[in-house]
Amino acid sequence: MDETTTRAYILLHNVSKKHNVGTLTRIATAFNVTTIVLTGNAHYNVFGCQGASAYAKFVHKRTLEDAVRWLKEDCACEIVGVEIDESAVPLPDARHAWCGEQPNVRSRAFFMGNEGHGLSEREISLCDKLVYIPQYGVGSTASLNVAVAAGVVLSAFAEAAAFAQCNKQGAKFDVAERPRRTQTRGFAEDDEEREMRIQARRLAREKAAHGDDDDDIDNPPPSLDTLFSES
């Protein structure tokens, strides 16, 4: 891993809602997150990512501790939990600090809490830093949904890290040529199922390639459409 290149990662632990990995993948791709690290129930679908999963890389670690170790040791990341907490830094302050590291902004993995109850004490204890998104006025909600929170945080980091901005042509961003697809596109539903199969194969290949001996090879991932309960 080239430690002089700034990279952004997303760390997700036991994401429970059916569509969130897909939505987060789309956001991740927009803000130059190239790797999404999934732990625990690390089977996912890509519904809602509108093809963005063709660009994002998924890495699976069975335990959160494994994921944190990999991110710190192999990817030279600081683990940044996104959580409202006594010790958390307001995001604008964090952005200023990240900007101040230029031209060598450290890579960060943003640990997004599980929907509904945020990061647990154990999860917080694995973070190097915590940031929170300030809220304003008198009527704040207790939390923003995880996709909105990720968008706000990742856009701030992309700005601070001075990632290369996508060119836009008139009213559209240029989109890189999509990685080779093994089948042509058809109806949206069929395509989505196909995307899931491709992702499942990719996940299996990656797990093999990483020689992740923590993984339970006797229990392969179930089919993707049975992985999440609606909640």
Q: Which residues bind a second copy (CB under 8 A)?
A: 23, 26-27, 29-32, 34, 49-52, 54-56, 83-86, 90-92, 118, 132-142, 144-145, 147-152, 155, 158-159, 163-166, 168, 170-176
* C-alpha closest to that of 178 among 29, 67, 65: 29
The token duo for 106 is 């450290």
Which residue, 96 or 201, has its beta carbon nearer to a second copy?
A: 96
How many C-beta neighbours within 10 Å does residue 97 have?
14
Residue 18 C-beta: closest distance to a second copy, Å: 15
Which residue, 172 or 216, has its beta carbon nearer to a second copy?
A: 172
Which residue, 67 or 146, has its beta carbon nearer to a second copy?
A: 146
Residue 116 C-beta: closest distance to a second copy, Å: 11
Report the alpha-carbon angle 55-108-202, nearest 5. Answer: 30
- Residue 101 CA, distance from chain mean position: 23
Instruction: Give the list of residues 6+ apart from residue 137 with CB closer than 8 angstroms, or none.
Output: none
- Are the beta carbons of 111 and 38 closer than 8 angstroms? no
Residue 21 C-beta: closest distance to a second copy, Å: 15
Residue 211 C-beta: closest distance to a second copy, Å: 27
Residue 91 C-beta: closest distance to a second copy, Å: 8
The residue count of the chain comes to: 231
Which residue, 75 or 221, has its beta carbon nearer to a second copy?
A: 75
Which residue, 65 or 173, has its beta carbon nearer to a second copy?
A: 173
Instruction: Give the integer Cα–Cα distance in Å for 65 and 188.
Output: 37
